[in-house]
Amino acid sequence: MRIEAVPRARPFFASTARARRRRTVRRGVLAAGITYHVGQPICDKGSIMFTGIVQGVATIGAIKDHGELRTFSIEFPERFTDDIEIGASVSVDGVCLTVTTIHSPVLIDFDVMLPSLRITTLADLTTGARVNVERAAKDGAEIGGHPLSGHVDFMGTILHIASSEHNRMIRIGVPAEFKRYVFAKGYIAINGCSLTVSDVNRDEGWFEVWLIPETRRATTFDAKGVDAKVNIEIERSTQVVVDTIRESVKETLGELNGVVTALLAEKGIDIEELLARNVARLPKQ
């Protein structure tokens, strides 16, 4: 009599744990109002303010302080401000600012509060400084870069620059708490410009991007040197997925989370790095 091998069934608790993790990740994604399509990045359709494609370079015309408020008078290129109105949003070096006064078709005022000055490079701007600018995206606009909110997460420091005849590489330092959100071949916004991360070193705390000639021509990056500060906005969908998976793992492990973390550390494995590597391998589904 021939005996057929019977496929080994997964233990019930293992399959339900996997299902629970998938549900947790899905709940986190849906709660953020994002959709996930095959071959496309996750996009939060409800919060797209900018596309990360710099539309021009403007100049700081004047700066006035009013207590904890700072007013920037910015001179824009011709036609950039066509049909602009009070209350409109403009990305200035990656920071979403609101139009407060329109002096002329090319001179506009923006008020910036102290909290925004503290976490962005706007506090260091002086009269005559040049900045990347982009108008808020209109409904149906092509997303040539990736969706941006104009809410800066941190200031990065340029650590190294390497230039060739046609390209320019910039290496930027990342604070420890944001390293988990930066992946090679992922998106990141630097001074409002959507760029692709070419390399990451989490141990040393930096990532690199390469600039093509058109990006260099259309932005202020060529004027930046080593030690210069830049505004960084991480890609929101990546943050949602990373944080959701981390919470899911903690929920699944429960009281064992600390034990597992310690055991991995004994083997020289950082659980944050392990999670980051696996998030980068997630399939698009």
CB atoms closer than 10 angstroms to residue 166: 9
22: three-class secondary structure by DSSP? helix
pTM confidence score: 0.74
CA distances from 142 to 24, 89, 139, 145, 146 (A): 32, 18, 9, 9, 10
Cα(276)–Cα(212) distance, integer angstroms: 28
Extents of the domains making up the chain:
13-37+239-280, 56-135
- Please check whether the domain covering 56-135 is classified as CATH 2.40.30.20: yes
Q: Whole-number mean pLDDT of the chain?
A: 80
Hey, what are 112's tokens? Answer: 């910036």
Give the pLDDT of the chain (285 residues) as one tens digit per residue. Answer: 444 444 444 443 344 444 444 444 444 444 444 333 322 233 333 455 899 999 999 999 999 999 889 999 999 999 999 999 999 999 999 999 999 999 999 999 999 999 899 999 999 999 999 999 999 988 766 677 788 999 999 999 999 999 988 889 999 999 999 998 898 988 999 999 999 999 999 889 999 999 999 999 999 999 999 999 999 999 888 777 777 776 776 667 666 666 666 665 665 656 566 666 655 555 544
Going by the DSSP 8-state scheme, the letter that residue 148 receives in this structure is B
Name the residue with tokens 């990736």. 146
Name the residue with tokens 């990045």. 41
Name the residue with tokens 């310690």. 262
269: three-class secondary structure by DSSP? coil
